Amino acid sequence: MPPIIWLAIAIVAGVAAYLVGWTAWVGYQARETRDRNAERYLQWRGRADRTPRTSTREGMTNDERRRIYGGAALAVLAVVALLAFFAGS
């Protein structure tokens, strides 16, 4: 395969990895921040639950986890294609 095709694959896969993975990560972080802010607000108003909890953290949803893994796979593909570009040129 000509090296320019490997470069095009690397660029497309890198952009796709960014779009897929970064949006999932930002959504996860925003939800965590929103949950922390809601808990702080309830504490400030005096309406928070008095029973001690270990954590209110939910973690990633299955969709977010799947998108992060997909973004990582696309990033690996981009690196492999970039290495093939350098090896072929």
User: Within 10 A of 57 (CB to CB), how many other CB atoms are there?
Assistant: 9
pLDDT confidence of residue 54: 57
Question: pTM of this prediction?
Answer: 0.76
Show me where the domains of the chain are located: 3-47+61-88
In this predicted model, what pLDDT tens digit does every residue of 20-74 receive, in sequence order? 999 999 999 988 888 888 777 887 888 777 666 655 567 888 999 999 999 999 9
Burial class (CB in 10 A: 0-12, 13-18, 19+), 30: exposed
- Output the CA torsion sign for 76, 77, 78, 82: positive
Residue 57: predicted pLDDT: 66
- Tell me, what amino acid is at 9? I
